[in-house]
Amino acid sequence: MRNHLVAYFAEHHKIVEAEALRLLLATPQPLLFSRRVLEGLGPDTPLVTTEFVERVVGALRTPARGPSSSPRPGADSSSVPVAPYALIREGFSPATGAAPLLAYGQLFQSRFQSLSRLLRGRPDLPNLHPIGEVRRTEGVTSAIAMVRDVRQTSEKHHFIVRLEDSTGAIDALVLKDSLPARTAFVPDEVVGVQLQISRDRERRLPLVEGVVRPDVPPHRPHRPTGRASRVMFLSDLHIGSRSFLEGPWEALVQFLGGRGPRPDLAKEIEHVVVAGDLVDGIGIYPNQERDLEIHDILEQYRALARRLAQLPSRLNVIVVPGNHDAVCPAEPQPALPEEIRTELPDNVRSLGNPSTFALDGVVIEAYHGRSFDDLIPAIPGASYARPTEVMKRMLLMRHLAPIYGGRTPLAPLERDGLVIDPAPEILVTGHAHTFGVDRYRGVLLLNASAWQAETEYQRMRNISPVPAQAAVVDLRDLGLTRLDFASGELVPPEVAA
């Protein structure tokens, strides 16, 4: 954890006093506390002092933990391991009642601030100026800006990006065959740009010569924890759907109970993370009722509770909602409501979507992945069949769902809870109903399949699922084993891939 913290502060260009670091390490959730310290510290203060940390830690220690992570009254805690996970952050934070338009202003300001903090001071952004001053400069000038939109010139197919910060907005030209054109600009992402400002400022647009994106830090060596512990990732159960894959689910239950092939592997699994679309919901898409087995939303969650109760109670099960679940669809989404949580087994914890937490010191970001619906059309060459390519892009932007006004509704909150910070070691998504694994700068990327066969709706939208796959990740070395339950029985898996 010490290395995590040092790297985290270094990434934000801060130097931490040794005593301040010791204080943070002594807190129950060091990364969460560090994040609050960074938020409280101004961008121009390079030093994290002991005094400042004392103040933040003092203020944070008093309030109780959020309702979703505290054990329920009367819950039998004997079967639940002690502090099985450390919550770092839930994207969702309750709104304080600002008028929606004002709140969206605050949301974008918060996004800009968080991401420009990561970009400021980069050597490849020399001569940094606010957008409002750029046109008064000459030669090479850098700026940090939000991309408002991108359009293509009709004749030569170059790009014009509209760049904006709180001081103003400018158009800048990206030549179609230049290096900056190779990675498509996504609306509402925050980028650093190197601009060439011509002498003839009145007639020529600033030329984009380089683009710097926040990105995750270059590969950080993973520090093995020593203890044998594994986590299984699942997603998109869609309980209540006629296409729920009952046979494969039963095989999964057998495996986790140590009654299938590789009981040695099953025994080491301590955690299960489910990345959303826990139930099929109602009224999510046109004519969904034809695809439903269970037509009542509460009954769907009761069926989910029964399915989860089939898994060994020693497991720490973490679930986040998706766009089919019974919470507000605007992201970040809150955890499941109390009346549903009380139906779930005691070893199941409901967190918001997205959520960042640590399992045995490994930082995991779990996000359902609704924004694939916006990012895939926005990024040339991206597809549902290869969601990990889009996930790399999320890490590059350090944002899970930047596009405003598309298919992913964004909640008008004061703080942008979809910014990826801290950088995780595992990023897991679902929603695409496929299975994808990749690694990017030391981060394990995983799209965690689905437990629903292809529906009519998916066929219509040209999505071909890869269902009933489970990924088991060894928390010691992030090695991954893919388990295929699609045939209704587990094919004995290869040793870690």
DSSP alpha helix (H) spans, 12-49:
18-25, 30-40
Beta carbon of residue 238, minimum distance to Fe ion (angstroms, whole number): 6
Residue 368 CB, nearest distance to Fe ion (Å)? 6
Q: Under the phi-then-psi rule, with left for phi > 0, alpha for psi from -120 to 50, and beta for the rest, what region is 277?
A: left
| Distant-in-sequence contacts of 332-338, Cβ < 8 A, 24+ apart | 332/90, 332/91, 332/92, 332/93, 332/411, 332/413, 332/417, 332/418, 333/91, 333/92, 333/368, 333/411, 334/68, 334/90, 334/92, 335/67, 335/68, 335/90, 335/92, 336/68, 336/278, 336/301, 338/67
Nearer to Fe ion by Cβ, of 111 and 433: the residue is 433
CA dihedral 190, 196, 202, 204 (to 10 degrees): -90
Task: In angstroms, give the least distance from the CB of 359 to Fe ion.
Answer: 23
Q: How many Cα atoms occupy the beta-carbon half-sphere of 236 within 13 Å?
A: 29
CB proximity list for 275: less than 8 A, separation 6 or greater: 233, 234, 235, 236, 320, 322, 366, 367, 368, 369, 428, 429, 430, 431, 448
Residue whose CB is less far from Fe ion, 214 or 321: 321
Interaction site with Fe ion (CB under 5 A): 236, 277, 322-323, 431
Query: In sequence order, what E strands does 311-375 have?
Result: 316-319, 348-350, 355-359, 362-366
Give me 386's structure tokens.
């290869």
Contact 212, 193 (CB under 8 A): yes
Smaller CB distance to Fe ion: residue 246 or 477? 246
Q: Establish how many alpha carbons lie within 13 A of residue 151's alpha carbon, considering only the half-sphere containing its beta carbon.
A: 6
Nearest distance in Å: CB 93, Fe ion: 22
* Minimum distance, C-beta of residue 350 to Fe ion, in the bound complex (Å): 17
Query: Which is closer to Fe ion, CB of 180 or CB of 276?
Result: 276
The nearest distance, CB 251 to Fe ion, in angstroms, is 20
CB 253 within 8 A of CB 471: no
Whose CB is nearest to Fe ion?
277
* Four-point Cα dihedral 339, 413, 27, 217, nearest 10: 120
- From the CB of 333, what's the least distance to Fe ion, in Å? 11
CB of 421 to Fe ion, least distance (A): 24
Question: Are the C-beta atoms of residues 231 and 475 closer than 8 Å to each other?
Answer: yes
Q: How far is the CB of 327 from Fe ion (least distance, A)?
A: 13
| Least distance CB 291 / Fe ion (angstroms) | 12
**Among 368, 375, 367, which residue's Cα sits nearest to residue 402?**
375
